[in-house]
Structure 1
Amino acid sequence: MSKMLSVKDLAVSFQTRRGEVDAVRGISFEVAKGEILGIVGESGSGKSVTSYALMRILDAGGVIKAGEATYSGIDLRRAAEHDMRDIRGREISMIFQNPRAALNPICKVGHQIEDVLRHHARATRYDARAKAIAALEAVKINDAEARYDAYPFELSGGMCQRIVCAIALACDPRLLIADEPTTGLDITTQKAVMDLVRDLIRERGMSSILITHDLGLAAQYCDRILVMKDGVIVEQGDPVQIFSDPQHPYSRKLVDATPRAGETVRSLLPPQERGEELTPTVSDQPILEVRDLTKTYAGKSGPVHAVKGISFMINQGQCVGLVGESGCGKSTTSEILVRLMDATSGQIIFDGHDIARVPARSFAKDSRRADIQMVFQDATDSLNPRHTARQTISEPLRRLARMRGAKLAVRIEELAVLVGLPLPLLDRFPHQLSGGQKARVGIARAIALDPKFLILDEPTAALDVSIQAVVLNLLVDLRAKLGLSYLFVSHDFHVVRLLCDHVIVMKDGEIVEQGAAEQVMSNPQSDYTNALLAAAPKPPQRRNIS
């Protein structure tokens, strides 16, 4: 197959206050016409920097130090900036990781597509609207004419990702770079977006680079895989070969950390780190009972029923998974339970008391506030960037337990040890911590007041697989050590299967199925649950370990 892109000995560095940092160190690869090339690896491996270098959109301080990048005979490294502006979008386009950040929040999505079309002379002011609507239709957006006038904040995450795809594909580029295009999307939306990208690539004779830390996704959609670590390519080849028999220790670590059916959370860790798995004690007494919970909002064209009379129970020491697509009511339910939002009707019997009767505004001062805590989805966004880890963990202790002085300092260090956060990191700010370290800070803050019940809202969704494995094992151990009960909100069925005793499946504000985790996963009774399971990327089979 003829080459679309050729990269030879590419090296990228950044100037920092601590000196020069080599982010990409002499990598070489090719992309053939019609090929989907996957680049996998963890945060900091150089995946995204490689793509930004190809597009010539490196952050300030970033520079291509050496190497060649040739696209269809064009030297991308030495091309003039005005030529690159013409190439970007028309010849090479990019789908960015965070669709909401990639879209202009104060500009209608249709106008944003028009801007790209007109910039590359693919439309005039007379036909730009029609072509923008056609671009929306090409990415399977229903009622595209109405969506043309929508702002990003009016659309779901999956819809925003389709808009980003429409912008990237509007000018019929020949090479599409997709940088973590499905992070944070539910599994059916993820499958829809990836199927759409794959089909458009085939229909239009394009090539693509898929950058991801999801090995299951890469195995399902890529023709060839590169594995990156610390700015170098450590392994490359056919997905089946790499995932069934990885040759490099780092590749083996990634494959082994990927959750699969029939295994335990301990099996995700390297053998030397596993230790003994602690067994939680589950009582037959409920810690939480939800009865006929309803949440209704006033909408422009009538009431919007976000939660429609759901009922379920969580026993003491139990971990219950709550799964479903975006918009199914998972987050609304979680926010009502943690008392950040009032229900329209229904009861929340927590530890024998109906806490739904206490207004959310007043619950912060309620004596049971300390007993119900939450670990949020994005550890970065949930931490105050101006507070050190120590200050973050101290917040609930100072505000609710009125703890001060030496007693406070001792408790913070106890919590750091409990969650595996090295003590020297307590005085670092969030931007100085890794994703896994920030997750540990968020967990330490949540358990600071010895709660009885934790709501875990996608706590590992944005983490690399090996970091996810460590955090999941931490959660399992804390549940056993502290006697915690969990509501684990997720769209990752593989993780839910490993972690949860019981599963609740929601759709359109209603519970469509619930039961023992293994039973629901192995023998789902609802067509909707079946569809969710079918949409989940199939992780590569574990290599044979002799």
Structure 2
Amino acid sequence: MTLLTISDLVVSYTADRARREALHGISLGIAEGEVTALVGESGSGKTTTAQAVLGLLPAGARIDAGTIALGDQEISGWSQRRLATVRGAHIGLIPQDPVSSLDPVRTIGTQVGEIFRLHGERDRGTIRTKVLELLERVGIDDPVRRAAQYPHQLSGGMRQRVLIATAVALRPRLLIADEPTSALDATVARRILDLIDELRTEQGTAVLLVTHDLAVAASRADHLVVLNGGRVVESGAARTILQNPQDAYTRQLLADAPALAAEGFRRIPAPLYLREAAVVAAERVNAIEATALTKSFATRGASDFRAVDDVSFAVRRGTTHALVGESGSGKTTTARIISGFLRPDSGTAIVSEREVTALSARELRDYRRTLQLVYQNPFSSLDPRQRIESIVAEPLHNFGIGTRSERRTRAAELIERVALPASVLNRTAAELSGGQRQRVAIARALAASPEVLVLDEAVSALDVTVQARILELLVGLQHELALTYLFISHDLAVVRSLSHTVSVMQRGRIVESGTTEAIFTQPTHDYTKELLGAVPSRSEVLA
């Protein structure tokens, strides 16, 4: 039986005092117990479609045509009061961001119990029993203790499980999962998706999975609906579309998905091995050498937390070394020590023949010319009101490099180098897309001609096609400028495509290191095997 039917749905927004269509006649259906994945880039209409089903379109948006039916009831014309009886009871929602979706000043138990109170349950004892049963059902350890905690006391994976508990509390017939794993590590993401599968199998719940992750869609969905520009460009059985995509846009999405790409590996540049001994002696082969780094942080009412524990690794000049592991493994703390933002308790970090851990404040400022960072979120790392020319030239101004005219010329050269049109120089960051902003962030990082870039989840916030173009750009720049990259990421598919060598971190320690090919094809540590096992492979998905 078809549970959800969307027919010829047209949705428009008010923009600049005019109406702009966001959805142009969307149609799809989901049967009971099935998973349909809605895939496409940002702006393709995925979230608008989900919001329309829930009756939660933002202010200024409206349904202009078409229908939405839940079973044999058309709900698209219902009032908000009537739709409130459907949300939770018949349609559950797992939102994307567990941080912003949970109230930071209310306990977990109170927030999960709210769904029962809203639907008429008044007995506190009954509510508490149901809450604890739910928390246990979604795999949260020690539910009594967790129910009394606040969101900030839980990990990202636990917070997402809390949202799932709320979404399935009333055993809805349809579950809408809006990018439920995009902010999670691979192993945590796999557990969350397994949990959704279990609940679907047990309860016969239909799932509308909204995602830009083709690997997730490919491995979990029965059917795919591909959106582009608010239109369905391809729809059908997931395996059929993956094996024989008909639309050019679908083919591009599949080609750009790192997890679905051919499983090749980057080789370490040969010149690093072929230099004569005299040249090697005169110039360090390694751009980064970390030796026995440790770093602990004080915690209230407990012993110190050791975030980095005896970490050692080396990165050859002109290559990319990836630090991988789950949240809390020590990746970012290690990168901040290498970058000179944290001093280790012990150990040394040498970057381009400078011992970072021994630099004075004045020397650290000059060190920023040697090493630059590119952060995860291009929307928060750039001033949205500042002109792009000023953003890119800012490091030159800070270091007193060149005249104003020379800095303008350098900014224009850098914008061209990162494949952006010169016209963006006079625009603000607020006027650019996420991919364009990240290109600007890379251009700014290159302004002072650094030798090393630290890329902290630099592509994780981007759609798959934009991500692919940024990765291509980074590879090209590395070849052109002999750059060395320290790449921090939880996305192992991206690591496989970009890095030459890898260190796997767990609880502050490096448990395995080696070439990317060796780590991915012949892992020796159980934790590495678990990480790799959580990533859908091309052969598994396309089988």
Tell me the TM-score range normalised by the shorter chain.
over 0.9
Question: Secondary structure at the residue paired with 2:517?
Answer: helix
Tell me: CA distance 1:541–1:254, structure 2 relative to 1, closer, same or farther (3 Å). Answer: farther
* 1:3-50 Cα distance to aligned partner (Å, 9 max, x none): 111111101111101622211100111111111111111111101100
Q: How many residues align?
A: 531
* 1:261-309 Cα distance to aligned partner (Å, 9 max, x none): 645699xxxxxxxxxx997964761111111111111123211111111
Partner of residue 477, structure 1 = 476
Residue identity (%): 38
Tell me: CA distance 1:250–1:261, structure 2 relative to 1, closer, same or farther (3 Å). Answer: closer
Give the whole-Å Cα distance in 2 for the aligned partners of 1:121 and 1:65. 34
Partner of residue 308, structure 2 = 307
How far is 1:517 from its partner? 0.9
* 1:42-98 Cα distance to aligned partner (Å, 9 max, x none): 111101100011111111211111100011333221112111122112211211111
* 1:386-444 Cα distance to aligned partner (Å, 9 max, x none): 32323322222222235552112111111101111212122333332112111101111
Q: Is the 8 A contact 2:265 2:517 kept in 1?
A: no
Partner of residue 190, structure 1 = 189
Read off the aligned partner of 1:339 and give its amino acid letter: G
Read off the aligned partner of 2:292 and give its amino acid letter: D
Partner of residue 220, structure 2 = 221
Structure 2 residue 358 is matched with structure 1 residue 357: yes
Partner of residue 388, structure 1 = 387
Partner of residue 41, structure 2 = 42
Question: Secondary structure at the residue paired with 1:367?
Answer: helix
* 1:471-496 Cα distance to aligned partner (Å, 9 max, x none): 00100011111111011111222221
Give the whole-Å Cα distance in 2 for the aligned partners of 1:364 and 1:115. 55
Structure 2 residue 362 is matched with structure 1 residue 340: no
Q: Is the 8 A contact 1:289 1:312 kept in 2?
A: yes
Q: Is the 8 A contact 1:281 1:480 kept in 2?
A: no
Tell me: CA distance 1:431–1:64, structure 2 relative to 1, closer, same or farther (3 Å). Answer: farther
Partner of residue 374, structure 2 = 375
Give the whole-Å Cα distance in 2 for the aligned partners of 1:543 and 1:198. 20
Give the whole-Å Cα distance in 2 for the aligned partners of 1:489 and 1:281. 25
Give the whole-Å Cα distance in 1 for the aligned partners of 2:184 and 2:344. 26
Q: Is the 8 A contact 1:280 1:317 kept in 2?
A: no
Q: Is the 8 A contact 2:457 2:488 kept in 1?
A: yes
Partner of residue 451, structure 2 = 452
Partner of residue 73, structure 2 = 74
Partner of residue 109, structure 2 = 110
Counterparts in 2 of 1:118-517, with a 5 A limit? 118-122=117-121, 124-259=123-258, 260=260, 262-263=262-263, 282=272, 285-299=285-299, 300-358=301-359, 362=361, 366-401=365-400, 403-517=402-516
Q: Is the 8 A contact 2:261 2:538 kept in 1?
A: no
Read off the aligned partner of 2:308 and give its amino acid letter: V
Read off the aligned partner of 1:296 and give its amino acid letter: S
How far is 1:470 from its partner? 0.6
Q: Is the 8 A contact 2:340 2:364 kept in 1?
A: no
TM-score scaled by length of structure 1:
0.93
Give the whole-Å Cα distance in 2 for the aligned partners of 1:479 and 1:149. 50
Greater shift, 249-258 or 534-543, is seen at: 534-543
Give the whole-Å Cα distance in 1 for the aligned partners of 2:253 and 2:153. 37
Give the whole-Å Cα distance in 2 for the aligned partners of 1:156 and 1:140. 13
Read off the aligned partner of 2:354 and give its amino acid letter: H
Question: Secondary structure at the residue paired with 1:339?
Answer: coil
Q: Is the 8 A contact 2:108 2:148 kept in 1?
A: yes
Q: Is the 8 A contact 2:265 2:500 kept in 1?
A: no
Q: Is the 8 A contact 1:90 1:172 kept in 2?
A: yes
Greater shift, 151-160 or 188-197, is seen at: 151-160
Q: Which runs of 5+ in 1 are unaligned?
A: 267-276
Read off the aligned partner of 1:520 and give its amino acid letter: I
Give the whole-Å Cα distance in 2 for the aligned partners of 1:502 and 1:356. 24
Tell me: CA distance 1:528–1:93, structure 2 relative to 1, closer, same or farther (3 Å). Answer: same
Counterparts in 2 of 1:8-47, with a 5 A limit? 8-17=7-16, 19-47=18-46
Give the whole-Å Cα distance in 2 for the aligned partners of 1:55 and 1:315. 52
Give the whole-Å Cα distance in 2 for the aligned partners of 1:452 and 1:480. 12
Read off the aligned partner of 2:72 and give its amino acid letter: G
Question: Secondary structure at the residue paired with 1:320?
Answer: strand
How far is 1:365 from its partner? 5.2
TM-score scaled by length of structure 2:
0.93
Greater shift, 30-39 or 66-75, is seen at: 66-75
How far is 1:543 from its partner? 8.8
Question: Secondary structure at the residue paired with 1:89?
Answer: coil
Read off the aligned partner of 2:321 and give its amino acid letter: V
